[in-house]
Amino acid sequence: MPEIQLLHLRHAAALLAFEVENRAYFAASVPDRGDDFFAYFGEMLRARLAEQEVGECYFHVVVGDGGEVLGRVNLVDVADGEAELGYRIAERASGRGLATWGVGEVCGLAGGRYGLRSLRAGTTLDNTASRAVLARTGFAVVGEREYSGRPGLAYRRGLEGGS
């Protein structure tokens, strides 16, 4: 059974492998991270962990039974009781409900452990899988949005337990 874990330096090798293995798959639906992301991965990871340490972001990995990273579910731009939710699941693990489960788990953490009141999210119109995940996890469409020149939708979800 997969597990949601808060990102830690011990995830570095598995996270990099996940990102490299799925780069082309992700780039088909979201903007590519760019070559610098991979070239300076260690520095990027330390910077993200520093942001996490001060509560600006919460980065989660979905870890499989063998310790491999199967996905990410992140909360970024945490401020005033809100955050932006983003997620990505490995191609080999897609279509099995892992995104819906992971997003649901992180929504629970956001309202409980992190004390957030609401989350924002978004996706392109042509990303039907992501739109379905957001709908199944309680997000409602609140407007239109553009992603790298592509039309999309903005979503919001209130959270129980937030301060």
For 82-104, the pLDDT digits (tens) are 999 999 999 999 999 999 999 99
Name 5's Cβ contacts closer than 8 Å, sequence gap at least 6: 11, 60, 61, 63
- pLDDT value of residue 148: 78
The set of residues, in sequence order, having a beta carbon less than 8 Å from that of 36 and lying 6+ positions away, is: none
Q: What is the CATH number of the domain that holds 32?
A: 3.40.630.30
Is it the case that residue 79 has pLDDT exceeding 60? yes
Number of domains observed in the structure of the chain: 1
Question: pLDDT: is 106 or 162 the higher one?
Answer: 106
What single-letter amino acid sits at 27?
Answer: A
Residue 87 forms part of a structural domain: yes
- Residue 161 confidence (pLDDT): 67
Please state, rounded to an integer, the average pLDDT across all residues of the chain: 94
- Domain extent, residue 59, equals 3-116
On whether residue 43 sits in a domain, the answer given is yes
Cα separation, 88 vs 6, whole angstroms: 15
Is residue 31 scored above 80 in pLDDT?
Answer: no
pLDDT tens digits, 114-127: 999 999 999 999 89
In this predicted structure, the answer to whether residue 6 has a pLDDT above a threshold of 70 is: yes
Integer Cα distance of 87 and 158 in angstroms:
18
What pLDDT, on the 0 to 100 scale, is given for residue 33?
87
pLDDT tens digit string along 32-63?
788 888 899 999 999 999 999 999 999 999 99
Residue 138 covered by a domain? no
The answer to whether residue 163 scores a pLDDT higher than 60 is no
Report if residue 69 sits inside a domain.
yes
**How do residues 118-158 score in pLDDT, each as one tens digit?**
999 999 998 999 999 999 999 999 999 998 788 999 999 99
